[in-house]
């Protein structure tokens, strides 16, 4: 499936192009402090975090954005975050982001699953599996 690899710092003509990654119940994380705060809130509320590491210039990320927003409206027990790899380069490095989009599923701040690439059916499948394991019938 589609994914982008780190772009050099020469952004060319598209540097003013911004994508609407927010919407639904998606929270954009722009600082390490904001990340820590969101993770703390999720832990306190017993929520799973789904962090989408993406970039404004990444075509597959743009394609996933509306779907990600739609998922956030359907699954209120998950905290949906977006991290721009260009804005938070240190954090992207610490999470070892090699391609965008990369989705991390976190419980209590610990990674429980990961998906690299713009694969809508697989993202949906992972969400369903994680929610099923968190709420056995």
Query: Domain 22-134 belongs to what topology?
Result: Glutaredoxin (3.40.30)
How many whole angstroms separate alpha carbon 91 and alpha carbon 38?
Answer: 15
pTM of the full structure = 0.84
Q: Give the residue extent of every domain in the chain.
A: 22-134
User: Which residues are within 8 A (CB) of 136 and not within 5 positions of it... i.e. 6 or more apart?
Assistant: none
Query: Which one of the listed residues 49, 50, 51, 58 is annotated catalytic?
Result: 58
Query: Which one of the listed residues 55, 61, 118, 130 is annotated catalytic?
Result: 61
How many whole angstroms separate alpha carbon 81 and alpha carbon 78?
Answer: 10
The pLDDT of residue 46 is 92
Q: Largest Cα–Cα distance in the chain?
A: 52
- Position of tokens 């990654």? 21
Which residues are 36's β-sheet partners? none
Instruction: Note the pLDDT tens digit of each residue in 70-86.
Output: 999 999 999 999 999 99
Radius of gyration of the chain (CA): 14
**Is 61 annotated in the active site?**
yes
């Amino acid at each position: 499936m589609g994914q982008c690899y780190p772009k050099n710092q020469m952004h060319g003509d598209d540097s003013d192009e911004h994508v609407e990654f927010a919407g639904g119940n998606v929270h954009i994380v722009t600082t390490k402090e904001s990340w820590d705060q969101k993770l703390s809130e999720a832990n306190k509320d017993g929520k799973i975090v789904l962090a989408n590491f993406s970039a404004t210039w990444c075509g597959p990320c743009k394609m996933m954005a509306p779907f990600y927003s739609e998922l956030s409206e359907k699954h209120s027990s998950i905290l949906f975050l977006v991290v721009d790899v260009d804005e938070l380069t240190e954090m992207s490095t610490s999470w070892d982001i090699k391609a965008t989009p990369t989705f991390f599923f976190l419980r209590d701040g610990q990674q429980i699953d990961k998906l690299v690439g713009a694969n809508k059916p697989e993202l949906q499948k992972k969400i369903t599996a994680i929610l099923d394991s968190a709420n056995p019938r």
